[in-house]
Amino acid sequence: MVWLIRLAVLFVTVTGCLTAGVLVYDRLQEARLAGGVAVEGGSPELNALERLYLQRYLASRAKELDQPVGAGQEPVTFVVAAGQSADEIAANLAAAGLLGDPELFTNYLRFYGLDDRLEAGTYQLSPQLTTPELAQALTRAFAQDVEVRFVEGWRYGELADYLAEDRPGQVDPVAFLAIVERQAAFDLSRYDFLASLPPEATLEGFLFPDTYRLPADADAAYLVQLMLDNFGRRVTPAMRQAIGVRGLTVFQAVTLASIVEREAAVAQERPVMAGVFFNRLEQGINLEADPTIQYALGYQAATDQWWKSPLFQVDLELDSPYNTYLYPGLPPGPIANPGLAALEAVAFPAETDYLFFVADCAAAIPGSHLFSATYEEHLANVERCR
Question: Domain residue spans in the chain?
Answer: 65-137, 146-234, 249-384
β-bridge partners, 214: 146
Mean pLDDT check: name the lowest of 11-20, 192-201, 213-222, 248-257.
11-20
Best CA proximity match to 370, nearest among 290, 258, 276, 238: 276
Please classify residue 165 by burial: count the beta carbons closer than 10 Å to its beta carbon, then call 0-12 exposed, 13-18 middle and 19+ buried: exposed
pLDDT of residue 144: 62
> How many whole angstroms separate alpha carbon 239 and alpha carbon 236?
5
Please classify residue 250 by burial: count the beta carbons closer than 10 Å to its beta carbon, then call 0-12 exposed, 13-18 middle and 19+ buried: buried
pLDDT of residue 141: 58
pLDDT of residue 169: 79
pTM above 0.75, yes or no: no
> How many whole angstroms separate alpha carbon 254 and alpha carbon 334?
6
Output the average pLDDT for the chain: 87
Instruction: Count the alpha carbons within 13 Å of 289 in the hemisphere toward its beta carbon.
Output: 31
> How many whole angstroms separate alpha carbon 54 and alpha carbon 114?
14
Mean pLDDT, rounded, for 155-166: 95
Which superfamily does CATH assign the domain made up of 65-137 to? Endolytic murein transglycosylase (3.30.1490.480)
> How many whole angstroms separate alpha carbon 216 and alpha carbon 66?
33
Best CA proximity match to 307, nearest among 355, 262, 270, 339: 262
Yes or no: say if 311 and 290 are a contact pair by the CB < 8 Å rule: yes
Beta strands at 76-80 and 146-149: parallel, antiparallel or unpaired = unpaired
Cα angle for residues 93, 94, 95 (degrees, 5° grid): 90
pLDDT of residue 183: 96
Q: What is the pLDDT of residues 45-104, one digit of tens each?
A: 888 888 888 888 988 998 888 899 888 888 888 888 878 999 999 999 999 999 999 999
> How many whole angstroms separate alpha carbon 123 and alpha carbon 213?
17
pLDDT of residue 29: 47
